[in-house]
Structure 1
Amino acid sequence: MEAGATARSQLSGEKAQRIVDAMRSSVALRGVAGSTFDHVARDAGVSRGLLHYYFGSKERLLAEVVKRDTELRLGMLDEQLAKASSAADFIAMLRSTLEAMLREDTEFLTLSFEVFTLSRRNPDIAVEYTELVRRTREHVAAVLAAKQDEGVLTLHGEPEAIAEIIFGLGDGLALRLLSEPDRDHRATVEAGTRAVAALIG
C-alpha cells in the first residue's frame, strides 16, 4: 500500500468527519474547481498542511469523501434491507433511498459524478474509483444472494449483474431527474421500479 493510502486510512474520528463534511459543502457551494484546500481547511478548522499530508491532492480528497459516504450509505442500506420480508419490501426500500437522496442530499450525487469525471483523466483516481465500484457491486450482490437464500427474493440473473443494473438505473435516473427538477418524474420512477421488480421478484 502506498504511503498516502496508509495515511488516509489512519485519519479517523471527528477531525476526518469535519474534513469530509467541509469538502462536501464546499463542492455544493463553490463547485469542484473552486473548492481549494484553503477553503476546505478553513471550513473544517484544520491546517492546509494536514490536508496535503493525508490526501496529497484535492482529487484524492474528493475520492475519499465519496468512498466514506458510500460506506455509510451501504451500512444504512444493510440495516433497512435486513428488515425486508418480501420483494415488495426490498424494492420499496431501494426506491425510498433514491427518493430521499434526490430530495435531501444532492451533494453526494454531485460528488459521485465529479469523481467519475475525474477518473476518466486521472489514472490514480481511476484506480480508486474502480475499486469503489467493485466493492459496492459485490456488497449489494452479497445482500441479494443472502435474501434469495432466505426465500425473500427470486433472482432472475446473477447477483452481481442485477446489482449492476440496480446501480445503473439509480445513477441514470438521478442524473435525469436532477437535470429537470421541475418535471413530474413519478411515472419514470414507477417504470424503473417495475424494471427492478422484474429482476428480483
Structure 2
Amino acid sequence: MKNLTNTLLIALTISIAFACKKNDQAAENEEHMDHQEQMDHSTMDHGTDSESTAAVSFENMEVSHVINSYLDLKDALVETDGEKAKNEASELLLALEKSNLEGKEAMEAEVKNISETTDTEVQRTSFDVLSNQMAELAKASVLTEGKLYKQYCPMAKNNEGAFWLSASNEIRNPYFGDKMLKCGSVEEEI
C-alpha cells in the first residue's frame, strides 16, 4: 500500500510539473505572439507605405536632413493631416534655417506658408512649389544611401499636374491623400 501511495504521489507530482511547464510554454508563446503582433503593428504604424521608414542619405548632411524632413511633410499630406503637416513643416523650416544651402530662402518661404496653417489645400499649394525646389536640390546633390523617386500626378492642381519626391516607388499621393491615394506614376529615379 505504501508503494502504491508513493507511486501515485510521484505520478501526481510529475503530472503537475508537466502541466505547469505546459502552461509556462503557452504563456511564453502567447507573450511571443503579442510581441510579434506589436512589432507588426509598429511597422504598419510608420505609414501606409514603406517610404516612411526609409531614409535617404546624401554626401551633404544638410541636404540629407532637409530632404528627409521634406519626406516627413509629404507623408503628413498623404494622410491629409493638416496639424501634422504644420508640425513637420516647422521641423523642415528649422532644418533649412540652420543650413547653408543655396536657394534656401525660396524653400523657406514655401515651408513657412505650410507651417502657418492646418488647411491641407493651402498646404498642398505651397508643397507643389516646394517639391520642385526639393527635386532640384536632390538632383544637384550626391545620393549615398537609399533611392529617391520623382513622382507625378496629372490630376493635381486642377488637372495641371504636380510632382513630389518619395523614398519609395510605390505611389502615395500627397495632393489627394486617401481620396486618390494611388493616382500618379514614377517619372524618374534620382
Q: TM-score range by the shorter chain?
A: under 0.3
Normalization by structure 1: what TM-score?
Answer: 0.25
Greater helix fraction, Structure 1 or Structure 2: 1
More strand by share: 2
